[in-house]
């Protein structure tokens, strides 16, 4: 099975930088996704990592260390609209198929 | 275009009703998914269709019956549901069911919020 851990809640100030961590334990790892989900809405794709290192996309960056089973999502220049839940999702081989399992999500509150 | 559409947006049904949820994508994706999401919980995988064939059933009760009429459409037929089945039902699609790269990113529809009375 898989075990994915994220902090439950975080609070950060508008204009600041916040780092949301995700640790995972799985076999057959084949990539890690970050999704953003506003309350009552569907998850939207933010980033994907499969190799070690940093992927940058505008104000959002995501880092992966496969050997440590660790990823983080970095949000810069925080805006009020960034208040949302951030879901870490791990893809792994399971029973001959590729399966994506979501972490419980980190609820980020951005305050003025 | 990364749009997945779902209908209806909201659904209220009794425990004896039969209803269907619909999902559509026109991105040429060959994998489609149903997820169930309860409040403050992550999405939980229910079913995966790969090239219009059911490839994963996560031990979902038979009162949920998926159907994939063609590569663009995915239905979820509901019958004799229980109040605990009330949740947000999300449909997603991805390009290549067997891929292991970024093309396997799943794109979600807006969901159907279901209330079972």
DSSP string, B45-79: EEEEEETTEEEEE-S--TTEEEEEEETTEEEEEEE
- Asked if A45 lies within 8 A of B107 by C-beta distance, the reply is yes
Of the candidates A54, A46, A39, A52, the one whose C-alpha atom is nearest the C-alpha of residue A107 is: A39
* Predicted pLDDT of residue A104: 92
* Predicted pLDDT of residue B104: 76
Strands A9-13 and B53-57: unpaired
Instruction: Assess whether pLDDT exceeds 70 at residue B2.
Output: no
* Predicted pLDDT of residue A97: 77
Mean pLDDT by 10 residues, chain A (112 residues): 89 97 93 93 92 94 97 98 96 82 95 96
Q: How far apart are CA B85 and CA A38, in angstroms?
A: 22
Chain B residues interacting with chain A (CB cutoff of 8 angstroms) = 2, 41-45, 48, 50, 55-56, 88, 90, 97-102, 104-111, 113
* Predicted pLDDT of residue A40: 84
Q: Which residue has the tokens 């790969």?
A: B50
Q: How far apart are CA A75 and CA A90, in angstroms?
A: 20
Instruction: Assess whether pLDDT exceeds 70 at residue B100.
Output: no
Mean pLDDT of B76-87: 96
* Predicted pLDDT of residue B62: 95
Q: Which residue has the tokens 């399966």?
A: A99
Identity of the residue in B44, B101, B111 whose CB atom sits nearest the CB atom of A50? B101
pLDDT in tens, B13-72: 999 899 999 999 999 999 999 999 998 899 999 999 999 999 989 999 999 999 999 999
């Amino acid at each position: 099975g898989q075990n994915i851990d994220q902090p439950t809640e975080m609070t950060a100030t508008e204009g600041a930088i916040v780092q949301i961590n995700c640790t995972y334990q799985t076999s057959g790892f084949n990539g890690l996704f970050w999704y953003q989900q506003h309350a009552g809405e569907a998850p939207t794709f933010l980033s994907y990592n499969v190799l070690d290192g940093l992927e940058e996309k505008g104000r959002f960056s995501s880092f992966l260390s496969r050997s440590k089973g660790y990823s983080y999502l970095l949000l810069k220049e925080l805006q009020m609209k960034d208040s949302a839940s951030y879901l870490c999702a791990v893809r792994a081989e399971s029973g001959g198929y590729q399966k994506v399992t979501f972490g419980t999500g980190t609820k980020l509150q951005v305050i003025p | 275009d990364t749009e997945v559409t779902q209908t209806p947006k909201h659904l209220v049904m009794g425990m004896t009703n039969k209803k269907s949820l619909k999902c559509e994508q026109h991105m040429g994706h060959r994998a489609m998914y149903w997820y169930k999401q309860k409040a403050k919980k992550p999405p939980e995988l229910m079913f995966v269709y790969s090239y219009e064939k059911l490839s994963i059933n996560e031990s979902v009760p038979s009162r949920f019956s998926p159907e994939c009429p063609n590569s663009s459409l995915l239905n979820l037929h509901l019958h004799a549901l229980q109040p605990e089945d009330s949740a947000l039902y999300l449909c997603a699609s991805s390009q290549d069911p067997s891929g292991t790269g970024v093309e396997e990113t799943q794109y979600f529809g807006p969901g159907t919020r279901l209330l079972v009375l």
